[in-house]
Amino acid sequence: MIVLAVFLIASTNQVLNTATTTNTVSFSGEGKVVAKPDIAKISLSIVTDALTSKTAQDENSKKSKTVTDYLKKQNIDDKDIKTTGYNIYPQYKYPQYGGQPTITGYQVNQSMEIRIRDLDKVSNILDGIVASGTNQVSQLSFEIDNPDALKSEARAKAIADAKSKANELKSQVGISLGKIINFSENTSGYPVPIYMKAELDGRGGMGGGGPSVPAGENEITVSVTITYQIK
């Protein structure tokens, strides 16, 4: 009898739990916020070839200092100038008819990421860093420095949209909604980098006072799904 009673209690609890999870309805909502970017990020590389590793590193350091000094003159803070990679590659010569390759020199490649907070300076800085010794400008992106506040605003809009749909269905179908038993969220629309390649002129610069790089606008979209229990 005791075993049977325990079994009946467990079965009843399972039925009740199944009922609360089965009798549900979900609503999706979407919120969008559009804002102008307030920061630009530039990825650049300083590449130097020399016969020895030390010479390549010393010459590359001089170029790096020249680029850094130029950026500081443009009021770029130290915190916004970051080395993201430093590599030393031996350069090989391969025999025409087989055999062991020989080292003919070394290449140093230093990668840096620059943050520019005054977007009016982006074009001139692109021209200036190349003239100062940058070999490659591989990536430029315009972003929002603090997207969390915009994401919260988009989320609030998405939740309001989902709840509006829930209230509309209540009046149309005549159902009674209970508590929220599930919530999911998906965020999209963060800035996609703009890839570009620096075109060097005879003076080592880009020519024409720098390229035209409009920042445009960024859109952050949050989608939510709210699941209600049906009373």
In a domain, 186, yes or no: no
pLDDT value at residue 36: 86
Give just the sign of the alpha carbon dihedral 59, 198, 142, 30.
negative
CATH code of residue 93 = 3.30.70.2970
In a domain, 95, yes or no: yes
Least reliable range by pLDDT among 56-60, 81-85, 87-91, 134-138 = 134-138
In terms of Cβ atoms closer than 10 Å to its own Cβ (0-12, 13-18, 19+), residue 152 is middle
Residue 33 and residue 219 in contact, taking contact as beta carbons nearer than 8 Å: yes
In a domain, 179, yes or no: no
Residue 199 and residue 147 in contact, taking contact as beta carbons nearer than 8 Å: no
The pLDDT tens digits of the residues spanning 181-191 come to 999 999 876 54
Instruction: Strand 218-230: give its sheet, edge to edge.
Output: 24-35, 218-230, 177-188
pLDDT value at residue 82: 96
pLDDT value at residue 152: 93
How many whole angstroms separate alpha carbon 103 and alpha carbon 119?
A: 44
Domain extent at residue 88: 39-145+192-216
The pLDDT tens digits of the residues spanning 85-128 come to 999 999 999 888 878 899 999 999 999 999 999 999 998 999 99
pLDDT value at residue 11: 41
pLDDT value at residue 203: 39
The better pLDDT of the pair 217, 49 is held by: 49
The count of structural domains within the chain is: 1
Beta bridge partners of 107: 49, 89
* Residue 214: pLDDT over 60: yes
pLDDT value at residue 99: 82
pLDDT value at residue 209: 54
In a domain, 208, yes or no: yes
Please report the DSSP string for 36-49 in residue order.
---EEEEEEEEEEE
In a domain, 79, yes or no: yes
The pLDDT tens digits of the residues spanning 139-148 come to 888 888 888 8
In a domain, 210, yes or no: yes
* Residue 137: pLDDT over 80: yes
pTM (predicted TM-score): 0.65
Average pLDDT over residues 50-54: 96
In a domain, 44, yes or no: yes
In a domain, 131, yes or no: yes
